[in-house]
Amino acid sequence: WTPEEVALWLSSIGLAHCAKSLSEGLIGGADLVILTASDLSDLGIRAVGDRKLILKAVRQLEADVEQFNTATGLWSLHFLHLGASP
């Protein structure tokens, strides 16, 4: 995902107010999946609750992709890691 796509995803899960910080940090899909709470704080996400929600949503997104891959017979196709469009 591009940083713009990450911002759209954040908006879609109710975290639009965090999108600008990640966009300004040029956080794309490959970066999104390896972010830590400390990284989010460095990017300007000050509220602990927002950091936790973002990290939880990323884990859920990864689980959803894995479930899709299993259901469709695909193996390890993690579009976020590859940087492809969602």
pLDDT for 65: 79
Other beta carbons within 10 angstroms of residue 37's beta carbon come to 13
| Token pair in block for residue 6 | 């990450």
pLDDT for 68: 76
pTM of the full structure: 0.77
Q: How large is the greatest C-alpha to C-alpha distance in the chain, in angstroms?
A: 40
| Token pair in block for residue 78 | 């993690």
**37-57, pLDDT tens digit by residue?**
999 999 999 999 999 999 999
